[in-house]
Amino acid sequence: MSVSNLSVSQQKAVTDLFRRIAPVADELGEVFARQGHELAVVGGSVRDVFLGRIGNDLDLTTDARPERVLEMVSGWADSVWTIGIDFGTVGVRKGDWILEITTYRSESYDPRSRKPEVDYGDTLEADLERRDFAINAMAVRLPGHEFVDPYGGLADLGAKVLRTPGPPERSFDDDPLRMLRAARFAAQLGFAVDPAVVAAMTAMADRIEIVSAERIRDELDKLICGAFPRAGLALLADTGLAEHVLPELPKLRLEIDEHHRHKDVYEHTLIVLEQAIAQEAAGPDRVLRWAALLHDIGKPKTRRFEEGGRVSFHHHEVVGAQLTKKRLTELRFPKDVTADVSRLVELHLRFHGYGTGEWTDSAVRRYVRDAGHLLERLHKLTRADCTTRNRRKAQALSRTYDELEIRIARLAEQEELAKIRPELDGNEIQGVLGVGPGPVVGRAYKFLLDMRLDRGLLGKDAAREALLEWARTEGVLPA
């Protein structure tokens, strides 16, 4: 299909693309053509043009082998890197443009291996056939700008559907991660997934076990940071994929019988996630979103049936924090992300623990200190966690939290809550007690910190007197 075969709006999209990327793409296309090789813009770079999104990264494909690509870009590119050369990819930078040039290829997984086997191909059409979805199997040849769409990707974009170029079973057998990518694209683009693709995902879900934790993590992270994460998560749960990559999610579908009625935790979780997203101010907050998704994963393990048909989940936040840390660690998330998400899960009920009465200054100080740098996220998670249909109850909870935030702001002005420390530091404690470094200093520090949280600023003199009284009571000093 040539550009002339496209609709007016589609022709404009392609023309706009090449107005932006020229002369970089055409220059490189000429370099390859003079050496007798093909080159085409491909995949997501073409898809995004028709979605109205053009960045500074371009994916290209060629019949030239990686070593030959290196020879041709040498002297043309500003810089070159070969980190992906084992998989046929050479990266280059030219001005502000980042280009990844990949040799025509196909790849498949040995059932016993986590690494794909790469075989190079000879034609653009064959390369497009091995791609994950038809919307990513479009290309524009360089330097002639011929549009290539053998598998109907443009029609799928119009219909907002995800379909594989060939049989989905073959596609997923070649690379099982594509099943997760289906859920990820559903979450990012809001597209429906072709029924044949869903059926293949369901039948082949256990094949995902062969994929490395890092690749699974990256897809899940992109999914949850997408514009429509509910769609992607529901697809994972409905096809059984979640049981292999995020088993805590389907476990939230607790059985509810006529004698033990309680909130649908799975549905509640998805609503909390959406309500947390609605509070984001500047793009996706991965820590907040993961905390919203995992905040109740301790409930299945702590569910107890009480008298009168009640159901309790005592300490589910503590159990949930432990499960969160375990899951994110197994998915190889960075330690800081794991720690922050786990801490939010642990703290998400803290607000309710104080009841609906007046908060003391001590309670406010402890709330802020325990949240630390996560305070703003904790505010959002706590508000998002209210999914009751009882309008009066929801409004009462919102007002109570409004009052708490006002109290925090008022105390923060007076006391710099985020930086609360005892009024005496370690050296001063040693001087007052006449002791050297050791466990006694740690105990004294904790005493002074608790006093600071409970009573606020007293002044150094009062802190010394209180410390001496504590030391005599504890037997550190003679009575």
The pLDDT tens digits for 220-232 are 999 999 999 999 9
pLDDT at residue number 18: 67
- pTM to 2 decimal places: 0.80
* 262 touches 200 (CB < 8 A): no
Radius of gyration of the chain measured on its C-alpha atoms: 29
* 84 touches 59 (CB < 8 A): no
CA dist 95 and 109 (Å) reads 37
Could you tell me which residue, 40 or 416, shows the higher pLDDT?
A: 40
- Mean pLDDT over 451-473 rounds to 86
pLDDT at 259 over 50: no
pLDDT at residue number 70: 94
The structural domains of the chain, with segments of one domain joined by +, span 3-158, 421-473
* 383 touches 401 (CB < 8 A): yes
pLDDT at residue number 228: 97
Percent of the chain with pLDDT over 70: 90
Q: Domain 3-158, what architecture?
A: 2-Layer Sandwich (3.30)
Cα dihedral 455→459→460→466 (10° resolution): -40
Confidence of residue 184 (pLDDT cuts 50, 70, 90): very high
Residue 67 in tokens: 């070593």
HSE toward the beta carbon, residue 418, CA cutoff 13 A: 7
Instruction: Tell me which of 26-35, 310-319, 460-469 is least confident.
Output: 310-319
Q: Do the strands 192-193 and 304-305 form a parallel or antiparallel pair, or are they unpaired?
A: unpaired
Confidence of residue 147 (pLDDT cuts 50, 70, 90): confident
The pLDDT tens digits for 32-54 are 999 999 999 999 888 988 887 77
pLDDT at residue number 289: 98
Could you tell me which residue, 243 or 372, shows the higher pLDDT?
A: 243
- The mean predicted confidence, pLDDT, of the chain is 87
Confidence of residue 257 (pLDDT cuts 50, 70, 90): very low
Of 139, 149, 223, nearest in space to 179 by CA: 223
- Mean pLDDT over 11-40 rounds to 83
Q: Do the strands 161-162 and 192-193 form a parallel or antiparallel pair, or are they unpaired?
A: parallel
pLDDT at 1 over 60: no
The pLDDT tens digits for 353-409 are 665 556 787 888 888 888 989 999 999 999 999 887 778 888 888 888 888 888 888
pLDDT at 338 over 80: yes
Q: Classify residue 175 as exposed, middle or buried by CB count within 10 Å of its CB (0-12, 13-18, 19+).
A: buried
CA dist 425 and 157 (Å) reads 63
In our burial notation (b when 16+ CB lie closer than 10 A, e otherwise), range 270-309 reads: bbbbebbbebeeeeebbbbbbbbbbbbbbbbeebeeeeee
Confidence of residue 469 (pLDDT cuts 50, 70, 90): confident
pLDDT at residue number 115: 65
Q: Quickly count: other Cβ atoms within 10 Å of residue 123's Cβ.
A: 11
pLDDT at 2 over 50: no
Residue 172 in tokens: 């997923």
CA dist 130 and 150 (Å) reads 12
